[in-house]
Amino acid sequence: MLELPRTIKDLSEDEFEGDASLIDRVKAKQHAKIVEGYKLIPNNEQTELPFIFYSEININNSRLWDLFIFLCKEQLPDTAALIFGFYDNEVNYGKYLAKVDIIIELAKYQREIVEDCHLELGLIYHSELTLIEIYIAEAKYIKVWGCDEESFRNIMNAFNLKEVENIEFIDEYPKVVYPLKTIMEDAVDTFEIITDLQEKFTE
């Protein structure tokens, strides 16, 4: 089973509330293929957006930050924009800046980025001919829209991540999410992070 952030927990029996379908999904999760690895889907001109492939990646939470940063450094050009927001809310789009400067600022919130499930963010480069995006979803797996499949697969190999047939992700099943501050009192509040990123990266 994948190593999840401490903020994601299984439902307990008293939280089922007699919902048979919910109980079935919780039971099915016991046999789910929620493991380290990835799936890759070629674009195949199914969308007009200029990316070559789309991927979703499961990685143990203790390794999530390292993979995210490595993908940003290797897949994106030197200039990129930050995208961020509360889960299930409108995304903020930052201005294009030096990628290295964005990464330095994000490092201040490393713990929150990999464990706060109310926070989503990533880096993007979008032009007429190219779309590259590296994004950490609320359930703390990585989504990639990329243009260099060979380089991407090399990175996956470097992290010992394999393409897994029928791989599944934690947000496909019932779960309970706790605020990070209930686990670590010194964690930075999600609203405070969003506000700081808006001040630093948006117009």
At residue 29, the pLDDT reads: 78
Cβ–Cβ under 8 Å, residues 197 and 81: no
Q: How many CB atoms lie within 10 A of CB 62?
A: 10
Cβ–Cβ under 8 Å, residues 63 and 186: no
Q: Rounded to whole angstroms, how far apart are CA atoms 182 and 180? A: 5
Tokens of 43: 């674009």
CA geometry: angle at 141 spanning 117 and 136, to 5°?
65
Note the pLDDT tens digit of each residue in 131-173.
Answer: 999 999 999 999 999 999 999 999 999 999 999 999 999 998 8
Of 95, 91, 175, give the one whose Cα is nearest residue 137: 91
| Mean pLDDT to the nearest integer, 65-86 | 98
Q: How far is CA 116 from CA 131, 187, 194, in A?
A: 27, 9, 12
Note the pLDDT tens digit of each residue in 30-49.
Answer: 789 999 999 999 998 767 89
Give 11's pLDDT tier (boundaries 50, 70, 90). confident
DSSP the chain: -----TTEEPPPGGGSTT-HHHHHHHHHHTT----SEEEEEE-TTSSSSS-SEEEEEE--HHHHHHHHHHHHHHHS-SEEEEEEEETTSPPEEPPPEEHHHHHHHHGGGHHHHHH-TTEEEEEEEE-SS-EEEEEE-TTS-EEEEES-HHHHHHHHHHTT--B-TT---GGGS--EE--GGGT-TTSPPHHHHHHHHHHHH--
Q: Rounded to whole angstroms, how far apart are CA atoms 202 and 88? A: 20
Would the pLDDT of 28 be above 80? no
